[in-house]
Amino acid sequence: MNVIPPELIDHREWTDANGHNNALRINGLGAPRAFNTNIIRQAGFLNVSYGEDYAAALQICREYQIGRIYESLYLCRRWPGNTDAGLSLDAANRNNAFKDKVRTDEILARQEMMIKGVEESRV
């Protein structure tokens, strides 16, 4: 029950105006996470064992606002093998490469959405 470094990561730079883009900058949304059932059923989860919640949240915040809680709600515990425990360099690199791909795919989807919006406004 001791506080684990780096302690609370609160992303105070997050604002209502930049939240959907800020989610692309960070390497995860922290925990706990909660999703509206109807929206997550539409978005779905990737069939992977790491980062599926981050990918779903990025997809959702393309169109919906993410709410943030800045106070600590719980103390976490770490054990060997969990995703943020002392991972090997290879495992950390695999995880980071996956999230880089998820972010790249999301940026491309947002660009496509913007292009469609511009094209539709011209009609």
Q: pLDDT digits over 40-94, tens only?
A: 999 999 999 888 999 999 999 898 888 777 777 776 666 666 666 677 899 889 9
Assigned domain for 2 exists: no
Q: Which residue has the higher pLDDT, 111 or 123?
A: 111
Q: Percentage of the chain with pLDDT > 70?
A: 78
Nearest to 33 by CA among 19, 12, 4, 54: 54
Report the chain's mean pLDDT, rounded to a whole number.
82
pLDDT at position 99 is 94
Residue bearing the bigger pLDDT, 7 or 25: 25
Measured over all CA atoms, what is the biggest interatomic distance in the chain, rounded to whole angstroms? 60
Residue pair 50/98 in contact (Cβ under 8 Å)? The answer is yes
Q: Tell me the mean pLDDT in the region 26-46.
A: 85
Residue 82, burial from CB neighbour count under 10 angstroms (0-12, 13-18, 19+): exposed
Q: Is 35 within the bounds of a domain? A: yes
pTM over 0.85: no
How many domains does the chain contain in total?
Answer: 1
- Give residues with Cβ within 8 angstroms of 75, minimum separation 6: 1, 3
Read off the pLDDT of each residue in 25-44 and give the average, rounded to a whole number: 84
Calpha distance 113→23 (Å, rounded) = 17
Residue 10 lies in a domain: no
- Mean pLDDT of the region 14-20: 73
Task: Look at residue 13 and tell me if it is in a domain.
Answer: no
| Predicted local confidence at residue 90, as pLDDT | 93
Q: Please name the residues in contact with 61: beta carbons below 8 A apart, sequence gap of 6 or more.
A: 19, 20, 23
108 located within any domain: yes
The contacts of residue 76 (CB under 8 Å, 6+ apart) are: 4, 31
pLDDT grade, residue 17 (50/70/90)? confident
**122 has pLDDT over 90:** no
Domain presence at residue 85: yes
Is 14 a member of any domain?
Answer: no
Range of the domain at 102: 19-122
Is residue 3 domain-resident?
A: no
How many other C-beta atoms lie within 10 A of the C-beta of residue 46? 15
